[in-house]
Amino acid sequence: MAFYNKPFSFFLSNLILSCFASVCLISSSEKTKNSGVTIDLIHRDSPLSPFYDSSITQFEQLRNSFRRSLLRQSFLKTVHSRSTLESPEAPLTPIVGEYLMKINIGTPPVEVVAVADTGSDLTWTQCTPCPECYKQKAPLFEPRKSKTYTNISCSSQQCQDLDYVYTDCDDKNVCVYDTTYGDSSTSRKDLALETFTFDENVTFPNVVFGCGHDNYGTFKETASGIIGLGGGRVSIVKQLEKSIGGRFSYCLTTLDSNASSKISFGPNAIVKGPKVLSTPLVKKSLDTFYYLTLEAISIGNKRLEHNLFSKAPVQEGNIIIDSGTTLTLLPQSFYNKLESTLVKAINATPMSNPQGTSKLCYKLPTNGKFNSPPIIAHFKGTDLVLPQENTFVEVEKGVVCLTLVPSDNISIFGNLHQVNYLIGYDLENGKLNFLPTDCSKPK
């Protein structure tokens, strides 16, 4: 189902079909070339990222990402609870995530490096003229220089469809969006349509986005905006639903890998085969987040139920899968059980935590090999072995800490535990598919 009745183009490896009217005719031989699109997902701390700071050690990078995890979860929680209260206040959007994507906007195309965010819907970039912009390294997007830029009027459906984003109308009847992030950073101004180009040649006309002429707060100097990959109506994934079949996938590499993580849309994002592990995506009132159902976690062969004190089935959709949160956050009581089970199973020297975020730390043995029992997440319908090298990580020379932490707020399945799985979001069938994959190897 298309929320915006607009033309779309198909993916073709060597040829672009521009489609006029709402239908593209395409012959079956051409269709076989239709493979979708795959681009790099750049970790914000990788040397390829504009955020990269060579003066920061890997340990510091990791600890910073842990801190961002906690900030992000407290804001995800705010959004989550506000949406259920249906508060009339302008909603908050979580602070930005951990991965960046390069796309091109406009005609002629201009490169934009923006945060890929599975926790928000609206895509926006900084635009000229900009009375209030934060500094960015790349030039600002100039709507006046693009042939395909169109403002969206207040009466249009697209202006009404901005769930969880506050909208207003300016004196020229242009729809104005106003999105406030968890830390009160703000981006606002004109809601518009533009042509988006992925990987040089894959073009999507008339994508709704925010042209931010008024942006301030703690956005870093170097990313030009946000690409909304949430499940809500205005997210890129939903807007391009017809062309990409409601599918995107990503494959995250380990932090020390020199290979880039990847994100795919459309046919490239189909995750299938006998080894695929599949769990339902649960729909909730807030459709921005991707909810899964976590039934239990096993430590070695000891299974711990999520519902500790009741035999009732777990609440469906009790955990959010998010690429923009590094740690996995679990309810305090469940975490406590998990921690005490781990403590019994691990034979190593406990250490007090040097940085405060993780609760369980050990001295790294001199041979550099820390042994912990395998941790398995039992999602509804499938069991996922958490990447062992990422359940305890070295946060300081010689100290490893557990990357699952307690949260009073909201449960999140973080990106460290998604590494080396090809993860396919299939919105059409309401499924999340995991395929164990060495994400550093080209497909």
Ligand X SMILES: *[C@@H]1O[C@H](CO)[C@@H](O)[C@H](O)[C@H]1NC(C)=O
Half-sphere exposure of 230 (CA within 13 A, CB side): 26
Check binding of 355 to ligand X (CB under 6 A): no
Check binding of 339 to ligand X (CB under 6 A): no
Judged by beta carbon, residue 61 or residue 409, the one nearer ligand X is 409
3-class SS shares of the chain: helix, strand, coil, % to 5: 15, 35, 50
Q: Which of residues 151-180 bind ligand X (CB under 6 A)?
A: 151, 170, 172, 174
Gap between the Cα atoms of 401 and 363, Å rounded:
9
Angle at the Cα of 381 from the Cα atoms of 377 and 383, rounded to 5 degrees: 30
The dihedral region occupied by 184, where left means phi > 0, alpha psi between -120 and 50, and beta the remainder, is left
Check binding of 437 to ligand X (CB under 6 A): no
Please say whether the beta carbons of 329 and 68 come within 8 A: no
Q: Which amino acid is at 273?
A: G
Q: Which amino acid is at 60?
A: E
Q: Which of residues 33-72 bind ligand X (CB under 6 A)?
A: 70
Judged by beta carbon, residue 293 or residue 411, the one nearer ligand X is 411
Check binding of 86 to ligand X (CB under 6 A): no
Judged by beta carbon, residue 311 or residue 369, the one nearer ligand X is 369
Q: Can you tell me which of 258, 285, 310, 347 binds ligand X, judged by CB under 6 A?
A: 258
Q: Can you tell me which of 9, 107, 153, 257 binds ligand X, judged by CB under 6 A?
A: 257
List residues with catalytic annotation.
117, 322
Check binding of 408 to ligand X (CB under 6 A): yes
Check binding of 200 to ligand X (CB under 6 A): yes
- # binding residues, ligand X (CB under 6 A): 21
Gap between the Cα atoms of 321 and 119, Å rounded:
9
Check binding of 353 to ligand X (CB under 6 A): no
Check binding of 326 to ligand X (CB under 6 A): no
Judged by beta carbon, residue 172 or residue 369, the one nearer ligand X is 172
Whether a cis peptide bond, with omega within 30° of 0, leads into 94 is no
Which residues, other chains included, contact 141 with Cβ-Cβ below 8 Å and sequence gap of 6+?
Answer: 105, 106, 110, 112, 125, 126, 127, 128, 211, 224
Q: How far is the CB of 283 from ligand X (least distance, A)?
A: 25
Check binding of 199 to ligand X (CB under 6 A): yes
Gap between the Cα atoms of 156 and 150, Å rounded:
12
Half-sphere exposure of 129 (CA within 13 A, CB side): 1
Gap between the Cα atoms of 376 and 50, Å rounded:
35
Judged by beta carbon, residue 161 or residue 389, the one nearer ligand X is 389
Check binding of 185 to ligand X (CB under 6 A): no
Q: Can you tell me which of 51, 66, 124, 149 binds ligand X, judged by CB under 6 A?
A: 149
Q: Can you tell me which of 1, 5, 14, 55 binds ligand X, judged by CB under 6 A?
A: 14
For the record, the structure tokens of 254 come out as 């380990």
Q: Can you tell me which of 64, 107, 201, 355 binds ligand X, judged by CB under 6 A?
A: 201
Judged by beta carbon, residue 195 or residue 298, the one nearer ligand X is 195
Residues of 31-66 as b/e, b for ≥16 C-beta within 10 angstroms? eeebebbbbbbbbbbbebbbbeeeeeeebebbbbbb
Judged by beta carbon, residue 278 or residue 409, the one nearer ligand X is 409
Interface pattern 91-130 for ligand X (x via CB under 6 A) = ----------------------------------------
Q: How far is the CB of 427 from ligand X (least distance, A)?
A: 26
Check binding of 438 to ligand X (CB under 6 A): no
Gap between the Cα atoms of 371 and 364, Å rounded:
9
> How many beta carbons lie within 10 A of that of residue 130, not counting itself?
18
Interface pattern 271-310 for ligand X (x via CB under 6 A) = ----------------------------------------
Interface residues with ligand X (CB under 6 A) are 14, 70, 74, 77, 143, 149, 151, 170, 172, 174, 190, 199-201, 256-258, 406-409
